[in-house]
Chain A
């Protein structure tokens, strides 16, 4: 299909203005926030002079356009600035914390999908049966319990009462050494290094927060799977397939499920975005060194560079995610790439 690469390229081109817009908006937004970082960092005993000194050191005494040009120039060199609360370069901190958040979110989604999608399909093929009711109960429970509560409940049960889980602090127990960094995902890096003991340690740490987050995302995925499967199963093409003698498995998976996958993919993209944002609470409960808790801490102290870096990283992530969903769409649905003609 000549249409597909063209569609993908044009989607990438459409993403560029979004990135530029995000750079401008985050810059202006952080400047507009109340609170003066110079005052904060000069300390409680500072006088006018020392505050002005700090302000000059941070480059905040220059006019806004000049600050912006400096900021963009640094960005182009991959320099996101220095976090004034931790003293570390923002780029380094993000590079360390982003994989932690991504690993958690991806594993949570993987767990959630592997339960929600089969559950939705089963519920749709047997509407009104016990599977359908189970699906409904599980899903309602998943969304109605806030993540920090599920997290605490799981810790109480598996760590405090049963002692099955390790201390819920961080990505890896202090007994283990961090695996050699390749992707930043401990599970993958440990597996690449062949260090299965560390792999198991990392898994034991991540499993509870991942389940906590996954439970929360169960609902939208299984609901949309059920709804779009029901629609696909009552369609004309499924009737044709049945009338031609095709049986359960072929009809359900090759005809109905492939068509039902399209809305599921869209939902998956949205769920991924909101769970990246929502996992701040989970990170706090499990002392997970992720990007969410970093951003909250930076925001509290008006740490411009850190907040800007965080928002930019998230924006790029969302753009990449939407792109990935669009590309997945063109792979599943042959009609895409022709609609605009």
Chain B
């Protein structure tokens, strides 16, 4: 008999614009010792399903219909007191953004103690010892010392370990992991996921893994359920569902996931594919970065964020700058963008050294228009009180020399170029979808026909199917406008699709650079290889059997 059984679950939310049916008639079950992955894009209802079964829906959310049975207990009708006993002791949950998931002003050890004491797993006398044991169980080294740490003193990966320790402290039978590694670096993601898989195997837990990442789902689950807009579209064994997706949506999702051996056009549905533009890389370097160094003065002495970094970008070439958080890639791009002054080194743009102009004055420099930036978060980088039209027109008004009418025509032309329907131009950011906001951001950046576009993780916040469309748009724009790209990202598979050459950074230094195929196919450095291996294998056409996860590396 299944440990957890969900029958025809329906959840709705009362909002200002009426009732939203977030989950509609979903039926799922999880057997003892089984890991079920629920995969879907944002708004698919995958998280809401799990919140409903924990009965921790946000205000306004109600379970409209369906049966939720866990080990013979009717979760839908259980009293609030009974539910509180089940949470943490029978069913536990881990969340995305682990640092925010912990109380910022309480020692992490005390937070684990709270849970142990709540479920009677410890007394006041031995709570601390038990909490330290729980931390050791998730391979936290020096748990006795870390017990006293506050979340802000720990890394993201370490915080997630604490959240896992907290969830598993009372030996629950079912673990729900809601996007547990979103926002973590690939190598940290691998360490955390391997740890979770190991703990699941060790304790014979059942688990639900909620993720948008098909690769993660394939690597760490037995069975996969695919959701879209509150409905279950397909369910099956992990290997089967990716090798032979039946539902058109699953097929589209599998196709849109960047993976080894697939070009950028192949991410799109077959009917939307147009022939890829031929590469036309110029011979002259557009940008030469020479021995670029940035030292930050901090309270604990100077910190070298970027150490003697050198690379070049030729005309119409796109270069990927890859590395994990803290590797210096963002500092490097901020210096090229002239938002930061380098400590030493040169930034030659069309043969002139940009580093000679202080960052403070560069905003008024005529060369400023030739360098543009597309930001990571399309929502936060648009003024919420400006319409799409105003956002796109802004750089034209500031740096261009167009009258009002010419500017209007230019904005409409740009919208067409990035595939943004004209009638959306008068909408505000909150009335646009993620993909549409990304298009506004790109249109704004190319408005002044820059020679170099710096793309800072432009698709990191987008769903895979939208990411596929935006990546293709970027490829087309580059061919049409002859721009060069500096593509800053942590995701090697995405970078490979768009870039001719790749620069890999670690600890402020370039560890490897070369043509994309070479860096990806035959990496020279161990670090690049570890990055490539850490990324979960997205399901390929061949049977992707679930191998035993390798042992976790203690942090």
Contacts and interface: CB of A to CB of B under 8 A. Distances in A.
A246 B104 contact: no
Contacts of A240: 93, 95, 101-102, 163, 166
B105 A333 contact: yes
B430 interface: no
A234 B299 contact: no
Contacts of A250: 114, 118
A237 B118 CA distance: 16
A255 B106 contact: yes
Q: Most chain-B Cβ atoms within 10 A of its Cβ — which of A236, A237, A245, A333?
A: A245
Interface residues of B, number: 36
A241 B112 CA distance: 10
Contact of A259 (B105, B115, B150, B167): B105
Nearest to A335: B152
Contacts of B85: 245
A79 to B, nearest CB: 43
A20 interface: no
Contacts of A244: 87-88, 92-93, 114-115, 118, 166-167
Contacts of A247: 81, 84, 118
B87 A334 contact: no
B53 to A, nearest CB: 11
B397 interface: no
A305 to B, nearest CB: 45
A240 B150 CA distance: 16
Contacts of B526: none
A161 interface: no
Given A244-B167, A255-B103, A255-B106, A239 B114 contact: no
A243 B54 contact: yes
A239 B56 contact: yes
Contacts of B119: 245
Given A236-B97, A334-B150, A243 B56 contact: yes
Nearest to B93: A243
A338 to B, nearest CB: 7
A244 B166 CA distance: 8
B299 A237 contact: no
Contact of A243 (B87, B104, B118, B170): B87
Given A235-B100, A236-B97, A335 B105 contact: yes
A255 B110 CA distance: 11
Interface residues of A, number: 26
A77 interface: no
Contacts, number: 88
Contacts of A341: 298-300
B106 A335 contact: no
Interface in A182-202: none
Interface in A238-295: 239-247, 250, 254-255, 258-259
Interface in B98-150: 100-106, 111, 114-115, 118-119, 150
Interface in B143-163: 150, 152, 163
A258 B95 contact: no
Contact of B88 (A237, A243, A332): A243
Nearest to A3: B299
B439 interface: no
B103 A237 contact: yes
B46 interface: no
A247 B152 CA distance: 25
B150 A335 contact: yes
A256 to B, nearest CB: 9
Contact of B104 (A241, A335, A340): A335
Contact of B101 (A234, A236, A259, A340): A236
A240 B92 CA distance: 9
Interface in A317-341: 332-335, 338, 340-341
Contact of A245 (B84, B105, B152): B84
Contacts of B93: 240, 243-244
Given A236-B100, A246-B114, A335-B150, A254 B87 contact: no
Contacts of B59: 127, 234
Nearest to A256: B103
A254 B104 CA distance: 12
B403 interface: no
A27 to B, nearest CB: 38
Contacts of A335: 104-105, 150, 152
Contacts of A334: 105, 150, 152
20 contacts: A127-B59, A234-B58, A236-B97, A237-B104, A239-B101, A243-B54, A243-B95, A244-B87, A244-B92, A244-B166, A254-B114, A255-B106, A259-B103, A332-B105, A334-B150, A335-B104, A335-B150, A340-B299, A341-B298, A341-B300
Closest 7 CB pairs of A and B: A245-B88, A341-B299, A245-B87, A244-B88, A236-B100, A243-B93, A237-B103
